[in-house]
Structure formats: C-alpha cells, structure tokens
Amino acid sequence: MRTVILFCTLASLSLAGCSSIFDKHVEYKYVEPDNYPILKAIGYAPISAQQGENQSQRSLMAIKASKLEAYRELAEQVYGQKITAGTTVQGSIAQNDRLQSQVQGVIKGAQVVKTYAVGDTYATELHLDMKRVHDLYIGEIKPREVKKVTYY
C-alpha cells in the first residue's frame, strides 16, 4: 500500500514538473538580407500587328503589350513557369503533341526604366529592385526572429 501511495505521489510530482511555472517575455529582432539583386526584364510587341485604325493607335497598343510582356518576364523570374506537356502515341507513332506554359503571380515595386521603338517593334524595359520589394514586404508582414527570451 505504501508503495502505491509513493508511486502516485512521484507520478503527480513528475507531471507537475512538465507544466510551466515560469512566464516568459520574448523579444524579436528584424532580419534583413546582406544584399538585394535587381531583376531586369524586357518585353517586345510588334507595332504593325496591333489592332487600331491608324499608326498612333497601333503604337499605343504596342506600348501596352510590350509592358505586359515585360511584367510577364519578371513574373517568370520571381515565381517560375508552370509547364504542362503531353504526347499521345498510337501504334508507336506520335499522334498529338502539346506544350503549354503558364505564369501566375503578383509583381509589386517594378519600375519602367525605358520604353522605345526599334523599327516595327516596341520594347519596354523593367527593373525590379528586390530592396524595394523587401521594404514593401516588411511594411505588410514584419518578419522577425527571436532576439531574447526572458523567464520570470
């Protein structure tokens, strides 16, 4: 009987030791990378292939299209590209071969550096300074790591 009481007492004390009798205060520090790359992208669009009633309208459409192409290229660099491919084979002969790519993402902080015409093609150059992206990210998320833990 004494052994059972002693065992129960020791078990309850050991379980009580698992509970936290201390309260704690955690201090965080913000983490910043050592360097920031600048991503660059160029988008191209043919002027004469654009829809429009006159040359000015086609030029404006080419400007917009080249800017979107540059943003697409930046999104590929940041997020990657999803590739879907398939081939149907029947009787050891390829019947249908398909390849599809898709890019999806949000680009914040990109800057149009230059937009210009080269012959019948319009080009737009974009830069994405990752320092600027980091600053936007810090403003929204505020990532942190543990700096100090004080128990009392």
pLDDT by position in tens, the chain (length 152) = 666 565 556 556 555 555 556 677 777 777 777 899 999 999 999 999 999 999 999 999 999 999 999 999 999 999 999 999 999 998 888 888 899 999 999 998 899 999 999 999 999 999 999 988 888 877 777 667 777 777 77
- What's the rounded Cα separation, in Å, for the pair 130 and 112? 15
> For position 4, what pLDDT does the model report?
56
Structural domain contains residue 4:
no
What domain range includes position 80?
Answer: 22-151
> For position 24, what pLDDT does the model report?
78
The four Cα atoms 51, 52, 54, 57 give a dihedral, to 10 degrees, of -100
What is the number of structural domains in the chain? Answer: 1
pTM higher than 0.85: no
Structural domain contains residue 17:
no
Rounded to the nearest angstrom, the gap between the alpha carbon of residue 23 and the centroid of all alpha carbons in its chain is 38
> For position 20, what pLDDT does the model report?
56
Number of H helices, E strands in the chain: 3, 7
> For position 100, what pLDDT does the model report?
93
Structural domain contains residue 114:
yes
CB 123 within 8 A of CB 44: yes
Structural domain contains residue 6:
no
